[in-house]
Chains A and B, each alone.
Chain A
Amino acid sequence: MTHYHPSIETLTDYAAGSLPLAHSLCISTHLELCSECQQQVRKLEMLGSEFFEDTKSEDRQLNSLKDSFFAHLETESHSATLAEQAKEEKRQMLDQTNESKALDWDAYKVPKSLRQFIPKGYDDLKWSRISPSFKMATLCNEEGGAQIALTRIKAGSHMPTHTHTGDELTLVLEGAFSDESGVYRQGDFISRDSSHKHQPIVTKDAECICLTVLDAPVEFTGWFTRLLNPILRRHHPHSGL
Chain B
Amino acid sequence: MECATKLQPDEQRLADMTAIAEHRDQAALGRLFDHYVPKVRSFCLAAQPGANLMADDIAQEVMIRIWNKAHTYKPDTASLNTWVFTLARNARIDYLRKNSRHQSDIDPEYLWQNVVDENADPFKDAQQKRDQERIKDALEKLPQDQKQVLAKVYLEGKTHKEAAEELSLPLGTIKSRVRLALHKLTIYIKR
Give B contacts to A, CB under 8 Å.
26, 29-30, 33-34, 37-39, 41-43, 45-46, 56, 59-60, 63-65, 67-68, 78-79, 81-82, 84-86, 88-90, 92-93, 97, 101-115, 118, 131-132, 135-136, 139, 150-151, 153-155, 157-160, 162, 175, 178-179, 182, 185-188, 191
Contacts and interface: CB of A to CB of B under 8 A. Distances in A.
B43 A55 contact: yes
Interface string A31-45: 110000010111111
Tell me the dominant secondary structure on chain B's binding face: helix
A162 B131 CA distance: 44
8 contacts: A24-B111, A28-B111, A38-B118, A43-B186, A46-B82, A49-B82, A70-B30, A76-B64
A58 interface: yes
Contacts of A46: 78-79, 82, 131-132, 135
A55 B106 contact: no
Contacts of A230: none
Given A43-B187, A47-B187, A38 B131 contact: no
List 8 A-B pairs, minimum CB-CB distance, nearest first. A55-B42, A144-B102, A57-B38, A49-B85, A17-B89, A49-B82, A28-B111, A52-B85
Interface residues of A, number: 57
Interface of A: 5, 8-9, 12-13, 16-19, 21-22, 24-25, 28, 31-32, 38, 40-53, 55-58, 62, 65-66, 69-70, 73, 76-77, 80-81, 84, 87, 91, 112-113, 115-116, 140, 142-144, 148
